[in-house]
Amino acid sequence: MTTTMAVGAAATPWSAKQRLLLAALLLIGVVGLIAGYVGTSGTLRVSRQVAWVNVAAAALLASGTGVVLFLTAARREIGRRRLSLFGDVIVGREEASDLGAGVGAADLVSAPTMTKYHRADCSFVAGKPALAVATAVNHQKIGKRPCGVCLPGGAS
Amino acid sequence: MKYLRNEWDRAGAWLCVTAGAVALVVGYFGVSGTLETGKQLPYVVSGGMAGLFLLGLGALLWVSADLRDEWRKLDAIDRHLLDGGTLPQAPAGPGATPPEPQEPFVPQEVSLR
């Protein structure tokens, strides 16, 4: 079976080094827990058992660290890849908003059920279907008033 | 069987979480069954700590499966963009109509949200 891979992309978000580190830390966890169990069950003297409990706890901590490192590494790698594919969405949105501010009346939208008209990038119309685009004059002709939040057409 | 083969990581996660929960319950009954600390500590290690280890392993498998899925999705989008953003063509058979000429590719904004 062959799989097509995008150029320059790895099959998983983890490198071989990261997988090796996780395997090593999980192995430390397993060995430490087994040693802790064998050590504590080999004697009934609590003073001797405490040391083995500490060994098991340290091993558990090591494997937990491995898990956290493994998952955060993948999260970081995925974020990096998303950024390379789509760019910075927030910056892009701000740029689009800046452009929209200079476009003017053609960007003004409203819907039949609305009493006001808005800029196309106003949060009040975000995700609303069936928006009609018209000039400020045409919106006002049918009795719609400018939105008080996005101030279309420089209304104040 | 097919689920196990395709979703081995999630199946493994369920297995680990179940085993971890069982270990915790066994550890609890082991500890509560005696008043002697020397007999309780092995249960703390084998039941309590091993149970936590298995729960952590289960969480690791589940979250890493989600991350792998996301990575594959990004792969698919990457491939799609490299292919020029066109939809895959149906194989041409004897009775198949010839595909219509396509419009030139215009890059469009893609959002994951």
- Enter the tokens of residue B37: 């600390």
In the predicted model, what is the mean pLDDT of chain A? 81
- Enter the tokens of residue B95: 């009775």
Asked if B92 has any chain A CB less than 8 Å from its own CB, the reply is no
* Residue B62 · residue B10 · CB < 8 Å: yes
Nearest of B1, B54, B61, B63 to residue B23 by alpha carbon: B54
Cβ–Cβ gap A30/B42 under 8 Å? no
Rounded to an integer, the average pLDDT of A16-20 is 94
Q: What is the pLDDT of residues B81-108, one digit of tens each?
A: 777 655 555 555 555 555 554 444 444 4
Model pLDDT, residue A141: 84
Instruction: Quote ipTM for the complex.
Output: 0.71
Q: What is the pLDDT of residues B46-72, one digit of tens each?
A: 999 999 999 999 999 999 999 999 999
Asked if A49 has any chain B CB less than 8 Å from its own CB, the reply is yes
Q: Which residue of A has its CA nearest to B53?
A: A60
Model pLDDT, residue B91: 53
How far is B42 from A49, CA to CA, in rounded Å? 9
- Out of B63, B82, B111, the one facing A7 most closely (by C-beta) is B82
Contacts of B81 in chain A (CB under 8 A): 85
Asked if A87 has any chain B CB less than 8 Å from its own CB, the reply is no
How far is B39 from A49, CA to CA, in rounded Å? 10
Contacts of A85 in chain B (CB under 8 A): 74, 77-78, 81, 110
Model pLDDT, residue A106: 52
Instruction: Specify the DSSP class assigned to residue A124.
Output: T
Reported as a pLDDT band with limits 50, 70 and 90, residue B38 is very high
Reported as a pLDDT band with limits 50, 70 and 90, residue A14 is very high
Contacts of B113 in chain A (CB under 8 A): 89
Which residues neighbour A152 within 8 Å (Cβ) at sequence distance 6 or greater? Answer: A107, A108, A117, A118, A119, A122, A136, A146
Q: Over pLDDT 90: what percentage of chain B?
A: 58
Q: What is the pLDDT of residues A77-124, one digit of tens each?
A: 999 888 888 776 666 566 555 554 544 445 788 888 888 888 887 777
